[in-house]
Amino acid sequence: MAPIPLPSGTQGLNEVAPVAPDELRSVCGNFVTGVAVITSGRGEEAAGTTVNSFTSVSLEPPLVLFCLHAKSRLRPVVQKYRAYAVNILSSQQEMLAWTFACKDTAGLDGVPHRSSVTGVPVLDGTLASLSCRLVNSFESGDHTVFVGEVVEADQSGPRGNALVFFRGKMGSVT
């Protein structure tokens, strides 16, 4: 990857080596994130994966984004259906998060869900969910960034504490 040109007055900084992946993972692990399951597809192709890379982007228009590794099993599904749902998990759903974090458990068989307005699945019992229409995606490093317009928002699930991720572990903030 070519270095990004820097503004004048910052010469010499391009010669600094990037941080190693393991060190970056360790340092970023100190930043507490929420845990969500992204779902997409329909029927036999319906699938999900756990992420902590979700964030809101804009209120007007209502945009959110998440990132998937280039080799993620969900990446081609989101690209094909051009829609996804963000399922924000409660602290009671840690096992569900780990289920969708495993490489061979992407399907929704046995996981209670319903169809959203975009047709993609939304998991039952989450703190909240957002159904999104894909409006942009781009490659950045070894990930794809997916930006979606929120077309349905639901927070009618059970109230509770959010599931969070910190230093490689899931837990709750009370």
The Cα 142–Cα 80 span in angstroms is 20
Q: Lowest mean pLDDT of 69-73, 74-78, 115-119, 124-128, name the range.
A: 69-73
Is the confidence at residue 115, as pLDDT, over 60?
yes
pLDDT-based confidence at residue 28 (cuts at 50, 70, 90): confident
Q: Would you state the pLDDT for residue 25?
A: 81
Cβ neighbours of residue 153 under 8 Å, at least 6 residues apart?
128, 129, 130, 131
CB 131 within 8 Å of CB 120: yes
What string of DSSP letters covers 24-51?
A: HHHHHTTS-EE-EEEEE--GGG-EEEEE
Q: Would you state the pLDDT for residue 12?
A: 57
* Mean pLDDT of all residues belonging to the chain: 88
pLDDT digits (tens, 9 = 90+) for 65-76: 999 999 899 999
* pLDDT mean over 107-121: 94
Structure tokens of 120?
A: 């993609």
pLDDT digits (tens, 9 = 90+) for 142-170: 999 999 999 999 998 888 899 988 888 88
CB 13 within 8 Å of CB 6: yes
pLDDT-based confidence at residue 58 (cuts at 50, 70, 90): very high
Q: How far out from the chain centre does Cα 33 lie?
A: 11
The Cα 85–Cα 36 span in angstroms is 10
* pLDDT mean over 58-69: 95
CB 123 within 8 Å of CB 46: no
* pLDDT mean over 106-133: 94
Q: Would you state the pLDDT for residue 34?
A: 85
Is the confidence at residue 100, as pLDDT, over 90?
yes
